[in-house]
Structure 1
Amino acid sequence: MASEPRTDIQPAPLDLPGTGDWLAWVSEHCEGQLAEARRQVGLVKAGSSDAPVVLAAWNKAETALANAEAVALWAEVHPDAGVRDRADDLSQQVQKYVTELGLDRDLYAAFDSLSGDTTGLDDDGRRVLEHTLRDFRRSGVDRDEATRDRLRELSERGVRLSQDFGRNIRDDVRSIRIAPERLAGLPDDYRDAHRPDDDGLVTITTDYPDLVPFLTFGSDAEARHELALAQNNVAWPVNDGVLQDLLAVRRETAGLLGYDSWPDYDTEVKMIGTGQAVADFIDRVGEAAKERAAEEVAVLLERKRRDDPSADSVATYDARYYSELVRREQYDVDGQVVRTYFPFEQVRQGLLDVTGRLFGLEWTPVSPQDARTWHEEVASYDVGLEGRRIGRIHLDLHPREGKYKHAAQFDLVKGIAGAQLPEGVLVCNFSRGLMEHDEVVTLFHEFGHLVHHVLAGQGEWARFSGVATEWDFVEAPSQMLEEWAWDADVLATFARNGAGETIPAELVAAMRRADHFGKGTYAVQQMSYAARSYWFHAVPHDDLTAYGDELQRRYSVFPPLDGAHMHCAFGHLDGYSSGYYTYMWSLVIAKDLFSAFDTDDLFAPEVAHAYRDKVLAMGGRGDAADLVADFLGRPYSFDSWAAWLAE
């Protein structure tokens, strides 16, 4: 549109109920936003031929829809099961309405009539119109009535299946019960937190704070095996059938829309472009990393044979443990020493200090009385830039019953200049005590999504607000931010042990050298996951476990785990569908983005602020490839990633 958004207006954050009636608030908020969306859609369909007027109403409709869709957050984090169930029900209503809009021919006609005359629209407005018309076509608005009816049915069924798939993972915390002596090798604070019960046994769950240290430090191989098997059987067998049904829904949907496969449909609006390009990328990375992975697993096997001379392979549940031993013995890096420098509270504050300095942001704690969140452990901060509040974030970082089991950023509010303040929620499952350095890296990664959400929430269009770029680019900014968690000068600002000693620079250097070990095995294992994601969607398979095991043997250096059904707990098969390749694709771009920074001064404001303004703050206002080229001064390439892999 020709007019500029009002940036002088300061919207207030969302008023959450705190200790009030969450069930009523969630319902009223979501239903109210749906009603507003319907009202604005009515204005779009009123017959105006003035493109700016029509798109202004559509922008308000999309804003209200985004607010309504945010109800999905409460299904993942709210401590009250009744609220979680209500949020799931409301999400179904919202997605049903979204499907109806995509198949509404009268609504489509209102936009199509504008395509011949875009007078009064600026580049962003024309991009909104182009993307809107594209999305209508991808929804099937141009199909016959019977096909549109079937697409509605499939969409509604797909939403229910997705919710079931995620809920089954979220609610199924498994555990093993073992004798306390089988905690050999675990740090003292871990053992102190896992005391024997009345039967003299210790319970270890599949939640991350239990799982990760156990698989990293536990010297009892059979106990690691038992826990890994429990983890890889979360949501089995129920999610096997759910996933098969979900895959069938997606395949039929793609076919009705005229695509050869779901991956072809899915990739049409991504950087990679086609389904075949995904398959080619998986093979390209797998081939590039194969030799290095074989060398690394040979080192692991040699080390394992010191404990078990008869060993002929390294299992998945061995990988973290023996990688830790190799790093300790060959690279002089002891993970149990490293973790003493990373108490959770220090890491959280350090992260805020680092990102504040890097991007010129201020993080101001908000009291529980003002933020009134859903749980007492949630920490809220107002985000400032140049003295002006530009957003609010909420950090929900520890596990609890009924909560989302992995790590992700969720939208609470999409930012619209002068209308509503961007708010994001970081949901993780970290220990309340000492953190592994891998967890520190993960926290930096996930926090990168929050920064992206807030910085890109300052514009006019809901369509481009927040992390609104192509889906296979969204991980790149977060993966690049991980680099700051590996820099000695950066870590020295917050990494201190209980005696107040700063993490030694020589230890960080050793950690970096040790981190190079395992890049090959990481890459091929990632490709085994990406292959599941792609091929499960591309071609039907009667036995997902058997086919998944086949892909594991084809791409990874670690054999399949007998008796495991990891696809049932592989939550990314829902959200990323056929696109799990995204993580490695984004890493390629992240390494290229990072090449623009001076490793001797990672806080240099000129490059950091250029990156902030040209990539993060742009949201979806440009194609990701163009945003990257604008920042780098050239198109992105594989060169930096290839150099990293060979390093």
Structure 2
Amino acid sequence: MKTSSLFLPVTTAFFTLMMNQAIAQGTQRPLIPLLKADEIPTLCSSTLDGLRKRVTMLEKLPPAHAKDSKKVLTEWNDLQIALEDLQGPVDILNNVSPDAKVRSTTEACLIETNKFATDLLQSEKLYARFKAIQPTDPIEQKLRQDILYSFDDTGVSLPPEKRARMKEILDKLGELSQEFARNIRDNNQKLTFTPAELQGMPAAYLARAKRDDKGNYLLGFEYPDYKPFMESADNSDARRRYQIAFTNHGTPKNLDILKQAMDLRHEMAGLFGLPSYADLVTRRRMVKNPQTVEKFLTEVQTAVTQLERKEIEELRVFKSETLKTPLADTKLDRWDAEYWQQKIKQARYNVDQEALRKYFPSEAAVPWILHVSGALYGVEFKRVEVPVWDPEVQYYDVIDSKSKERIAGIYLDLYPREGKYGHAAAWGTRGVSTFAHRTPISTLVTNLDRNGLNSDELETLVHEFGHVLHGVLSHTKYVAQAGTNVELDFVEAPSQMYEEWARRKESLTLLAGFCKTACPTIDDALLARLTAAHNYGRGIRYARQLLYASYDMTIHNDKADKEQPLAVWQQMEGATPLGYVPGTEFPGQFGHLMGGYAAGYYGYMWSEVLALDMLSRYNGKLMNPEVGHLYRQDILSRGAEKPAGEMVSSFLGREPNSKAFFDEISGQRLH
């Protein structure tokens, strides 16, 4: 029998580069290619041309060929792998490359890749092939359904004129998303502060801060600059100036971009006969509809409103007592909140976030979380020297402890630099496919303080590493179901659950063993103080999450085409206890709204319901490898092979519930 090349794995120009680099290093491991700016346009266009030819060949196959579900799904898997071998490396280099020209050319490539994906999912012939197959098992059945949803949501079933308009909208949204992110990422503005304005900042912060020829400090929008300043700088006017600049560092251009996106998304929903973009996207998620989201957010509001007001009033009283000003004349402004929270934590619980950096040195925190993850989930992380885009980037092979086989790879890009993505995130650069003998790669991007981490930053590191684990410990047959390709309102749950390992004694006490020089160990007394400090401010913290989620749903509701993003924000933030700060334009740097979370930000709290419930399965013994193995088996390894609700129920041995979450946000959870 003659075997069509369609059934063989696709080798793209990008994948060839990856393998050539690997071979040069004496290994067959796949790697992220270190592309040069002048290579990218040709590689991108040639790869996409090859993929288009492949699609044309698939479209010409006879209908009888579609009777074999395995063949059809294998062809799709190969196609998705080829597309990911282009998109994965280009996407991460777009966010981390030190070369501005590479970032620019990868952005253009991502826009073209997005256009190809739209064309692919509007192919009526391929859509018909998936409708015709009969899956042979539940995994195939769910994959087929997810693929059909993707085609449907891209407009394949719309009349020709509407389908063409849908393509225009999706292509434009892809361009707007790239422009929005670039306006934030490439803003290299530095604010000038006098030495007097930095009173209260720790010596280590001052020592590393850049200064001009007059001795003034130059601070940018990287988190190691901004967040400690807002927590520790004594000068209220300086904090106000920094907060306004930080809040506005993607505007005014990004407000126009967001408004364009709102209008396009609203029009998109109308093409499907739906009243809003929120209706369009939630139908594929756990919540199923916007009404479920609104009900959930109302319950959150009921749980946190009084606690938020109580905490704000406590901060105002504390400010009055500390500054010895009459309470009636003392106001708590938005730029005061983090500062006075830290002061009250120091006074009540003797917790100084800056002092914690000696407990959590950056060079110890990373090997510590690798060790904790390995012990829990039965893997080992082996440092390997490979080509990287910056000398500080680290690469590790992930080895299964039982089989001793290499199962994945991870890149760690830990420290801030100019032009790099400014927050913390994990990229699933390469998804697993056991059917194609394909191992995954995940990339962790953070902006850690080189001098050490405070407890919040340690928690962020652990959270993002949870996403990395979701990618590299996935063991799915098809790449489309790999890792974090789960429902958007579940994707944060594994990482949110993992945050607990940054707060518990049995895991934290292991960190001191990774310090290069002696560092203090977390004892019971300090842990109790840290727990109390973490718990304080829950009302303010979750009320802010509620505001973000409510705003997101509002600008994607059935009246979105009549709304202006800044006006809605001014009204909604203005109704909160701390009010709206005149001159601020927060929506212009709310990257989630242009980065895949539109009408989905509620998912952070929705998934935390599941995260805190899954945590109960450990029964307070977080380093129990038996439960860790079960979690790897039931959640991490399954990717999107099953609906999220089913996976959680399997892991818990019961239906999930929201009690732990509402205890947490209302201040009743004591740990």
Shorter-chain TM-score range: over 0.9
SS at match of 2:428: strand
SS at match of 1:410: strand
Q: 1:286-333 CA deviation, whole Å, 9 max, x = no partner?
A: 111111111111111111213254654422221111111111101221
Is 1:553 equivalent to 2:569 in the alignment? no
Is 1:533 equivalent to 2:548 in the alignment? no
Once the two structures are TM-superposed, the CA of residue 50 in structure 1 deviates from its matched residue by 2.0
Is 1:350 equivalent to 2:368 in the alignment? yes
Q: 2:631 aligns with which of 611, 617, 628?
A: 611
**Residue in 1 aligned with 2:540?**
521
SS at match of 2:648: helix
Q: 1:445 aligns with which of 463, 466, 480?
A: 463
Q: 1:78 aligns with which of 90, 97, 117?
A: 97
Within 5 A, what are the aligned runs for 1:6-21? 12-18=28-34, 21=36
SS at match of 1:596: helix
CA 1:499 to 1:271, structure 2 compared with 1: closer, same or farther past 3 Å?
A: same
**Residue in 1 aligned with 2:648?**
628
**Residue in 2 aligned with 1:295?**
310
Is 1:482 equivalent to 2:499 in the alignment? yes
Q: Which amino acid aligns with 1:355?
A: S
Indicate if the aligned counterparts of 1:297 and 1:521 stay in contact, CA closer than 8 A.
yes
Q: Which amino acid aligns with 1:578?
A: A
Indicate if the aligned counterparts of 1:76 and 1:403 stay in contact, CA closer than 8 A.
yes
**Residue in 1 aligned with 2:564?**
543
**Residue in 1 aligned with 2:411?**
394
CA 1:547 to 1:36, structure 2 compared with 1: closer, same or farther past 3 Å?
A: closer
* Cα distance in 2 between the residues matched to 1:393 and 1:543: 41
Q: Which moved more, 1:322-331 or 1:271-280?
A: 271-280
CA 1:640 to 1:41, structure 2 compared with 1: closer, same or farther past 3 Å?
A: farther
CA 1:476 to 1:304, structure 2 compared with 1: closer, same or farther past 3 Å?
A: same
Within 5 A, what are the aligned runs for 1:201-350? 201-306=216-321, 307=323, 308-309=325-326, 311-350=329-368
- Unaligned runs of 5+ residues in structure 2 are 1-7, 10-21
CA 1:298 to 1:379, structure 2 compared with 1: closer, same or farther past 3 Å?
A: same
**Residue in 2 aligned with 1:420?**
438
Q: 2:163 aligns with which of 141, 145, 148?
A: 148
Q: Which amino acid aligns with 1:469?
A: V
Indicate if the aligned counterparts of 1:392 and 1:424 stay in contact, CA closer than 8 A.
yes
Is 1:494 equivalent to 2:511 in the alignment? yes
Q: Normalising by structure 2, report the TM-score.
A: 0.90
SS at match of 1:335: coil
Q: Which amino acid aligns with 2:187?
A: D
RMSD value over aligned CA atoms?
A: 2.1
* Cα distance in 1 between the residues matched to 2:526 and 2:444: 30
CA 1:481 to 1:30, structure 2 compared with 1: closer, same or farther past 3 Å?
A: farther
Once the two structures are TM-superposed, the CA of residue 129 in structure 1 deviates from its matched residue by 1.5
* Cα distance in 2 between the residues matched to 1:553 and 1:293: 15
SS at match of 1:411: strand
SS at match of 2:332: coil
Q: Which amino acid aligns with 1:536?
A: I
Within 5 A, what are the aligned runs for 1:88-237? 88-114=107-133, 117-118=134-135, 121-194=136-209, 196-237=211-252
Once the two structures are TM-superposed, the CA of residue 239 in structure 1 deviates from its matched residue by 0.7
Indicate if the aligned counterparts of 2:319 and 2:330 stay in contact, CA closer than 8 A.
no
Within 5 A, what are the aligned runs for 1:562-601? 562-575=582-595, 576-599=597-620, 601=621
Q: Which moved more, 1:260-269 or 1:540-549?
A: 540-549
SS at match of 1:126: helix
**Residue in 2 aligned with 1:61?**
79
Is 1:364 equivalent to 2:379 in the alignment? no
* Cα distance in 2 between the residues matched to 1:498 and 1:511: 23
- Unaligned runs of 5+ residues in structure 1 are none
Once the two structures are TM-superposed, the CA of residue 502 in structure 1 deviates from its matched residue by 1.6
* Cα distance in 1 between the residues matched to 2:529 and 2:274: 50
CA 1:195 to 1:64, structure 2 compared with 1: closer, same or farther past 3 Å?
A: closer
Q: Which amino acid aligns with 1:597?
A: Y
Once the two structures are TM-superposed, the CA of residue 140 in structure 1 deviates from its matched residue by 1.5
CA 1:503 to 1:37, structure 2 compared with 1: closer, same or farther past 3 Å?
A: farther
Q: Which moved more, 1:542-551 or 1:634-643?
A: 542-551
CA 1:301 to 1:169, structure 2 compared with 1: closer, same or farther past 3 Å?
A: same
Q: Which amino acid aligns with 1:552?
A: E
Once the two structures are TM-superposed, the CA of residue 77 in structure 1 deviates from its matched residue by 1.0
Q: Which amino acid aligns with 1:330?
A: R
Q: Which amino acid aligns with 2:76?
A: W
Within 5 A, what are the aligned runs for 1:428-439? 428-439=446-457
SS at match of 1:503: coil
Q: 1:117-168 CA deviation, whole Å, 9 max, x = no partner?
A: 44xx222112221222222222221111111111111111111111111111
Q: Which amino acid aligns with 2:244?
A: L
* Cα distance in 2 between the residues matched to 1:31 and 1:509: 59
CA 1:37 to 1:51, structure 2 compared with 1: closer, same or farther past 3 Å?
A: farther
Q: Which amino acid aligns with 1:173?
A: N
Once the two structures are TM-superposed, the CA of residue 413 in structure 1 deviates from its matched residue by 1.2
Q: Which moved more, 1:577-586 or 1:622-631?
A: 577-586
Q: 1:14-71 CA deviation, whole Å, 9 max, x = no partner?
A: 24445x7464268527743662474166236412132221121111112222222222
SS at match of 2:618: coil
**Residue in 2 aligned with 1:638?**
658
**Residue in 2 aligned with 1:380?**
395
Indicate if the aligned counterparts of 2:357 and 2:451 stay in contact, CA closer than 8 A.
no
Q: Normalising by structure 1, report the TM-score.
A: 0.93
Indicate if the aligned counterparts of 1:179 and 1:202 stay in contact, CA closer than 8 A.
yes
SS at match of 1:174: coil
Q: Which amino acid aligns with 1:411?
A: G
Q: Which amino acid aligns with 1:467?
A: T
Indicate if the aligned counterparts of 1:43 and 1:54 stay in contact, CA closer than 8 A.
no
Q: Which moved more, 1:24-33 or 1:162-171?
A: 24-33
* Cα distance in 2 between the residues matched to 1:175 and 1:609: 47
Once the two structures are TM-superposed, the CA of residue 568 in structure 1 deviates from its matched residue by 0.4
SS at match of 2:439: coil
CA 1:122 to 1:186, structure 2 compared with 1: closer, same or farther past 3 Å?
A: same
* Cα distance in 1 between the residues matched to 2:69 and 2:52: 19
CA 1:213 to 1:311, structure 2 compared with 1: closer, same or farther past 3 Å?
A: farther
Once the two structures are TM-superposed, the CA of residue 550 in structure 1 deviates from its matched residue by 1.6
SS at match of 1:243: helix
Q: 1:460 aligns with which of 454, 477, 480?
A: 477
**Residue in 2 aligned with 1:52?**
70
Once the two structures are TM-superposed, the CA of residue 262 in structure 1 deviates from its matched residue by 0.3
Q: 1:237-263 CA deviation, whole Å, 9 max, x = no partner?
A: 111111111111111111102221001
SS at match of 1:433: coil
SS at match of 2:191: strand
* Cα distance in 1 between the residues matched to 2:77 and 2:126: 14
* Cα distance in 2 between the residues matched to 1:58 and 1:497: 49
Q: Which amino acid aligns with 1:433?
A: N
Indicate if the aligned counterparts of 2:358 and 2:520 stay in contact, CA closer than 8 A.
no
SS at match of 1:595: helix
Once the two structures are TM-superposed, the CA of residue 211 in structure 1 deviates from its matched residue by 0.4
